[in-house]
Structure 1
């Protein structure tokens, strides 16, 4: 077996173990903080999309029950509503891509994400729980970047990216396909466009699965 085959076999083994760990620990306290972090990224994505299309952010909130909201009037409602789940995918892809493409700069990427989360929390988050969580998570990520170096930061970013992508897929299924009556992003988009909620759920989950497939294939080819 040549060196590349060994690297790819190791990549499959590590990826499989990491995915299995996240999957089986999904509803445990170990993964819970990361899921809240992904919810925060989801709401930040709504806000950034609104800003990019001419609107503003008034407040971003997350709840202990993994709920969240972004009060962001103005801008393009279609783009802003679409940006939540798709934004979670992009954040996850950015973390995995950055950790794999530029491993030596993983600590810098982790620090940049921490500063972004802390800044958004300080400027836009009002509720005590959400503010405490955002600042605490940013602080932990900064410690990882500072004390853990690029190797530890790389693993942390890969794990965060995996959970972000997986959460987007599972959240779309839970909130839209399984419970279309909920007032989800897809439900509000259906009210805006006249296209049924289930259609938007199907489109988004297809995009999410394709995104994850191509991201994994890229990482496999680099191994």
Structure 2
């Protein structure tokens, strides 16, 4: 006798989605300093620096070099471009990347295509910019893993990975802002350079970005809770 496999009901699907989403959030919060989350943190740093680079190009500048540091840091050396928007793009850009990736996972069936697009994005960074050695290795290795996932992985697995990346980006932004612009406001962060060149205080710019990131993160979680 053949068994008939049926799709879960919409209500059950919503419950599963909510459970996975909030389980991931709890796991990230509890294990934030765990070495297991290192790849996710470096991906967030990658998106942060990529946002600086893309805004530089969008405002008429040129990217001289693209650097990632294994100690969860990075830098983009650029010439020209709008300095205000280039400095602002780092934290808010990585936040936007997180929102877009999570939205793809939560609202579409295009998860494998989104994972494949991330692979192409990393290859573009390697080809167009001048990455340092660690950035080059990171982009090639992460790109290869994502390519394998897009080709061989199931829809469910691609969906889960996109959610992990999206949530980690959205959570990393406010945590990093608090650390680098409020608690350690003496650091030469994006906010500190913005304060030097355009006025205001490092903490002020950090608070503005913090409020935006928290509002966006809460809004996304509400959308997930109400998702159909």
TM-score of the alignment, normalized to the shorter chain, above 0.5: yes
| Aligned residue in 1 for 2:96 | 90
2:161 aligned with 1:149, yes or no? no
Cα distance in 1 for residues equivalent to 2:115 and 2:17? 22
2:78 aligned with 1:72, yes or no? yes
For structure 2, which runs of at least 5 residues remain unmatched after alignment?
1-8
| Aligned residue in 2 for 1:206 | 211
1:51-66 to structure 2, matched below 5 A, reads: 51-66=57-72
RMSD of aligned Cα (Å) = 1.4
| Aligned residue in 2 for 1:140 | 145
2:130 aligned with 1:128, yes or no? no
| Aligned residue in 2 for 1:42 | 48
| Aligned residue in 2 for 1:107 | 112
- For the 8 Å contact 2:21–2:163, the answer to whether it is kept is no
Cα distance in 2 for residues equivalent to 1:152 and 1:8? 17
For structure 1, which runs of at least 5 residues remain unmatched after alignment?
none
Residue of 186, 189, 194 corresponding to 1:189: 194
Residue of 12, 17, 24 corresponding to 2:23: 17
Count of equivalent residues: 220
- For the 8 Å contact 1:42–1:88, the answer to whether it is kept is yes
Q: CA deviation at 1:31?
A: 0.7
| Aligned residue in 1 for 2:3 | none
Larger radius of gyration: 2
CA gap of 1:57–1:24, structure 2 versus 1, over 3 A, is same
- For the 8 Å contact 1:122–1:131, the answer to whether it is kept is no
2:180 aligned with 1:175, yes or no? yes
Secondary structure of 1:75 counterpart: coil
Q: CA deviation at 1:9?
A: 4.0
| Aligned residue in 1 for 2:224 | 219
